[in-house]
Chains A and B, each alone.
Chain A
Amino acid sequence: MSIGRGSVRSVAISVGVATGIYGISFGALSATAGFDVWQTIALSVLMFSGGSQFAFVAVFATGGVSALPAAITSAWLVGIRNGFYALSMAPKLGPKGLLRVLAAQLTIDESTAVSTSRETPDEQRKGFWFTGLSVFIFWNLATIFGAILGGFLSDPKVFGLDAAAAAALFALVWPRIQNSLGAIIATTAVLASVLLSLVLPSGFPVLVGASIAVGIGFVLERGRI
């Protein structure tokens, strides 16, 4: 990605606009999964982390209300990488008090990526804050639009929205599986979760299948060194 080019402000705005497109898909998928417009908006404002939100909605779509605990757990685990972004941003931003809470909420893939791509400490700070705020605004506006759009579609299957959800998740994982280890972890996760769907209640196949895949990832990683 060419996130390092142009002024910090213009980069922040273009990244915000680009993620808005994900926001429309999220809004529409959330609405067709069974969340109402307000619940969909709440997810984008409060959870504000694309991967976690898509995971939350996807698990709910497969299992309904009884799968909500599994949806929470999936979203939580997908969100763990934000903790590492926060660790790397903490010394650069050094936020205190309420600003720390705001910085935490805005710590996502995009704000961290733009900040990291900048050279000077001042630009790194600006890159984080501008991008975080820009993505927050566009992501939420797009969510509202997508949720209203999704509300008009009565049967998600007729419009292929179940396939759209799969494709959206696939696009999110794609850049991470361009090396053999990533590809093996992903393949294991697909096989394990699909097979476990035959025996476990919905929501759990994803969690257990993913755990098996992570275990295999560590085993292979160790064997390689």
Chain B
Amino acid sequence: MNPWLAIILGSLAVFSWKLIGYLVPTKLLDTKWLSKLAGFLTIALLAALVGVQTFVGQNRIAFDARIPALLVAAVLLKVKAPFIVIVVAAATSAALLRLAF
């Protein structure tokens, strides 16, 4: 698939939710169940991406510099560090570990 086509299709797909919310009468929906689904999906997808980004390399499980880097991020999240500090600290940790070993 062409990346441009994917970007446009993906954007339309995301936009579809936004627009549907303005077009559908609230009464027609069992919003309690659906909003729970939305909440669960957001958590599950982002967490799954964290998992794959951290533990997977070339279709196999890999234990490398990304794991300590994520632990650094977890500690910084715990102490409520700003987003940019967390991201930069994780990148720096991984880069330094790779340099060292």
Residues of A within 8 A of B (CB): 21-22, 24-25, 35, 39, 42-43, 46-49, 51-52, 54-56, 58-62, 65, 68-69, 71-91, 95, 100-101, 103-105, 107, 157-174, 176-177, 182, 185-194, 197-198, 202, 205-207, 209-211, 213-214, 217-218, 221
Contact = CB atoms under 8 A, between A and B. Distances in A.
Given A107-B18, A210-B48, A72 B91 contact: no
Given A80-B17, A186-B44, 14 more contacts: A42-B7, A43-B11, A47-B7, A61-B53, A81-B38, A84-B31, A105-B15, A164-B94, A170-B50, A176-B43, A185-B47, A197-B52, A210-B44, A213-B43
Nearest to A174: B77
Given A80-B38, A90-B22, A163-B93, A189 B47 contact: yes
A163 B52 contact: no
Contact of A84 (B21, B86, B93, B95): B21
Contacts of B35: 81, 84
B47 A52 contact: no
B22 A95 contact: yes
A43 B3 CA distance: 11
A153 to B, nearest CB: 10
Nearest to B81: A171
Nearest to B5: A68
Nearest to B82: A21
A59 B29 CA distance: 31
Interface residues of B, number: 72
Contacts of B51: 189-191, 193-194, 209
A172 B46 contact: yes
Contact of A167 (B13, B55, B69): B69
10 contacts: A21-B83, A49-B14, A104-B15, A105-B18, A165-B53, A167-B86, A186-B47, A209-B48, A210-B44, A213-B44
Interface in B35-85: 35-56, 59-61, 65-66, 69-70, 72-74, 77, 82-84
A73 B62 CA distance: 25
Contacts of A56: 10
Interface in B1-30: 1, 3-4, 6-11, 13-22, 24, 26, 29
B100 interface: no
